[in-house]
Amino acid sequence: MEAKIDELDWRILNEYIVDARLSCRQVGKRIRTSTATVLSRLRRMEGQGVIKGYSIILDYEKLGYTITAITEIVVSRGRLLEMEKEIARLPNALAVYDVTGDTDAIIISKFKNMDDLSVFTKKLLSMPYVERTNTHMVLTSVKEDLRLMP
């Protein structure tokens, strides 16, 4: 069920998308509304599940994760959800998506070196219902930001 989000909610969300460290008071000043309004709307959106948590954005390259891979997988015997849940638990997997087309799922992952990518790929291929994988290496990241800024 889609949550009811109005323009003020979006203005509050956008402030936290840019900087999740802001206080309700700071957001209120920026968007010209009261601290109490910001707080009550945050609590409502948290209760609705619109806000799942607060986080930071890391520069993975500065942490040594210089390799980004996009892996397509094909899963057999109707075990897609089971395999996706197992893959999602792997430490290098950032995102796991069901997709349409010739493959069943797409995995986005990051690695410090080729050996780590090799181990990850072999782990995927050793899973009982993974039929095949096709891994793409990212050459250049033009944009890497999952924040939606409406």
Residue-wise pLDDT for 88-111, tens only, equals 999 999 999 999 999 999 999 999
Q: Which two tokens stand for residue 21?
A: 């460290």
Same domain, 89 and 130: yes
pLDDT band at 78 (very low <50, low <70, confident <90, very high): confident
CATH number for the domain that contains residue 132: 3.30.70.920
pLDDT digits (tens, 9 = 90+) for 22-44: 999 999 999 999 999 999 999 99
Residues 32 and 76 in one domain: no
Q: Please state the domain count of the chain.
A: 2
Domain at 38, CATH number: 1.10.10
Q: What rounded mean pLDDT belongs to the chain?
A: 94
Judgement on whether residues 71 and 41 belong to the same structural domain of the protein:
no
Give, rounded to a whole angstrom, the gap between the first and last alpha carbons of the chain. 20
> Domain span at residue 25?
7-48
pTM of the model: 0.83
Vertex 104: Cα angle to 102 and 106 (nearest 5): 105
Task: Tell whether 38 and 64 lie within a shared domain.
Answer: no
